[in-house]
Amino acid sequence: MDQILVYVTAANDEEARLLAETLVNEGLAACANIVPGITSIFRWQGKVETSTETLCLFKSTSGHFAALNRRVLELHSYETPCVVALPLVDGNPAFMKWILDSMPKAK
């Protein structure tokens, strides 16, 4: 399967919306889901930190990931944003086809 789910955390709802609208409008994602109000506990520069963030889930393809990742890094406010791709190994066939049909050919 070529379809992927890209997990990105954003500093706030506004940044998440900017990422979502940009990536979908630029054809790097077929869809974006924004989940506000997640709590993240993480180690940063030797200390344990807690932060409220907004989660973005992008449906895309592996062929678009490099460009999607570059675009997130350009737009994101974090020094080291979380951008990870997870393969979609199975799913509703009609939905999986929709992801592929919604994406332009990867460059």
pLDDT the model gives residue 2: 93
Q: What number is the average pLDDT over the span 65-91?
A: 97
pLDDT the model gives residue 104: 86
Using alpha carbons, list the distances in angstroms from residue 49 to 35, 90, 91: 20, 35, 36
What are the structural domains, with CATH classification, of the chain? 3-102 (3.30.70.120)
Q: How far apart are CA 66 and CA 46, in angstroms?
A: 29
Q: What number is the average pLDDT over the span 1-11?
A: 94
Give pLDDT tens digits for 7-43: 999 999 999 999 999 999 999 999 999 999 999 999 9
Q: How far apart are CA 14 and CA 42, in angstroms?
A: 22
- Structure tokens that stand for 78 in this block: 């974090």
pLDDT the model gives residue 105: 79
Q: Are 60 and 30 in contact (CB under 8 A)?
A: yes
The proportion of the chain whose per-residue pLDDT surpasses 90, expressed as a percent, equals 95
